[in-house]
Amino acid sequence: MDMRQRVNAALKDAMKSKEADRLSTLRLINAAIKDKDIALRGSADEDAGVSDADILAIMGRMVKQRQESARAYEEGGRLELAEKELAEIKIIEEFLPKQLSPEESAQAVDDAIAEVGAESIRDMGKVMAVLKGKYTGQMDFGKAGPMVKDRLG
């Protein structure tokens, strides 16, 4: 079952069990996917539609946004809003693959460097492309970039 079908199935289950918070989060995910569908209209990729990798990237961004919001709410003393954001993160993460540990991320970076035969910082783009192709949704590329840079620099 692809990601879109998993989200839709979860949405139906949430409707049947009357889980309002879960339902609203799943609707946000669905809306983000449909926004991406609309953005692809008229482009060369229109026939392909939104891929699972695109959906994972969308969900990854949604998690990051909610983490930043939760942090801001905590700093502002709005703990009930921070808890709501954290609850949404848990629901979104149900659809994301298991995150790589720091050790697994380091190994993935080393493997990608070896795979493309990277020797200098100029090859960083190739390494990042391999990582994004294999580990979308499983690693934080904001942290992977500096790791690649350290190994190549």
What pLDDT is attached to residue 71?
95
What pLDDT is attached to residue 46?
55
Flag whether the pTM goes above 0.85.
Answer: no
- In the chain, CATH 1.10.1510.10 covers 3-93
Q: Which CATH number fits domain 3-93: 3.40.50.1400, 2.60.40.1170, 3.90.1150.10, 1.10.1510.10?
A: 1.10.1510.10
Q: Which of 76, 87, 148 is nearest to 112 (CA)?
A: 148
For 59, residues 6+ apart whose C-beta sits below 8 A from its C-beta are 29, 32, 92, 95, 96, 137
Dig out the tokens for 133 from the structure.
């192709």
What pLDDT is attached to residue 1?
66
- In the chain, CATH 1.10.10.410 covers 102-152
Terminal Cα-to-Cα distance of the chain (whole angstroms): 41
Angle at the Cα of 8 (from 131 to 61), degrees rounded to 5? 35
What pLDDT is attached to residue 138?
81
What pLDDT is attached to residue 77?
94
Mean pLDDT for each 10-residue chunk of the chain (153 residues)? 88 94 94 89 67 85 93 95 94 87 87 86 88 81 85 81
| Architecture per CATH, 102-152 | Orthogonal Bundle (1.10)
Q: Residues 26, 4: contact at Cβ < 8 Å?
A: no
